[in-house]
Amino acid sequence: MSAVLLSTHGLVARYGDFQALYGVDFEIAAGEVVALIGANGAGKSTLLKSIMGLLRVAPDMVRLDGRPVGGAKPHKMVADGVAIVPEGRRLFTGMSVEDNLRVAIDHAARPREQGWTLERVFGLFPMLREKRATPVQSLSGGQQQMVAIGRALLNQPRLLLCDEISLGLAPKVVREIYQSIPSISQTGTAIVLVEQDVGLAQSASDRLYCMLEGRITLTGRSSDISRDAIGEAYFGASHAVA
Ligand SMILES: Nc1ncnc2c1ncn2[C@@H]1O[C@H](COP(=O)(O)OP(=O)(O)OP(=O)(O)O)[C@@H](O)[C@H]1O
Ligand SMILES: [Mg+2]
């Protein structure tokens, strides 16, 4: 396995008085696809937000290339090669597909190391080329998700954090979007997939983490983990199916 790209160490995160993460140890190597599953409120988005610098955490709790980066500002993390496709997509409504994508190009804080261009994003999602002049709010949910992924890729990430990119989409569209994952990881970009659909998470990833109530309850190679183990880690031992 290649060297660890990003890791968290005893990561603790809070929203005011509420503690959402209790000592999370997580790691991902260059080019790896890692799924992160868990029930509503388990802490998946909080883990991504902590990595991205959107929540205040101690420096040593997040390491990129072995360097402490916990609590660094989001724009600094983007410049260091970490990009997020956030929950709910957050596109610029009133702007066309192309203009949404160009925002990332114009503000690119990184050299074009990963080689993503507008043309390559259109190659990944051909539908976006046809709709390039369309305002994003007129697109379907799946097409909007493609714009959100494309925009993140134009930041030339070494690590792409995807928060529930399949949520609310029809199965055919989910397949289309997930087909892009291997093409993205082949460029050397590591991908974290937060995913509610456990079967999809398992089949699309090299390794998997399950969270429950702010803790990691299971980790391993996705192909080796049994459905029973996932059930227990997902719901807690007391709720495991007999
Ligand atoms: N802004 C916030 N303020 C206070 N508490 C929050 C905030 N965001 C999340 N939480 C709480 O932190 C915990 C973890 O939430 P988080 O959003 O990380 O879960 P999640 O695993 O992403 O869930 P979901 O699948 O619903 O997206 C939950 O108990 C949630 O209610
Ligand atoms: Mg979430």
Domain residue limits at 42: 4-239
Residue 100 has pLDDT above 50, yes or no: yes
Using the atom order of ligand 1, give the atom closest to the CA of residue 43: 18
Residues in the 5 Å CB sphere of ion ligand 2: 45
Write the pLDDT tens digit of every residue in 11-28.
Answer: 999 999 999 999 999 999
Q: Which atom number of ligand 1 is nearest to the Cα of residue 211?
A: 21
Q: How far apart are CA 1 and CA 82, in angstroms?
A: 20
In angstroms, what is the span from residue 242 Cα to ligand 2's centroid?
28
* Long-range contacts of residues 115-121, Cβ cutoff 8 Å, at least 24 apart: 115/156, 115/187, 116/153, 116/154, 116/156, 116/187, 117/154, 118/154, 120/153, 121/150, 121/153, 121/154
Residues paired with residue 83 on neighbouring β-strands, in sequence order: 160
CB of 142 sitting under 6 A from ligand 1: no
- Please, what is the Cα angle at 158 between 154 and 159, to 5 degrees? 95
The enclosing domain of 59 has a CATH number of 3.40.50.300
pLDDT 10s digits, 123-158:
999 999 999 999 999 999 999 999 999 999 999 999
Domain count, the chain: 1
* Ligand 1 contact, 186 CB (< 6 A): no
pLDDT tens-place string over residues 34-55? 999 999 999 999 999 999 999 9
Ligand 1 centroid to Cα of residue 165, in Å, is 17
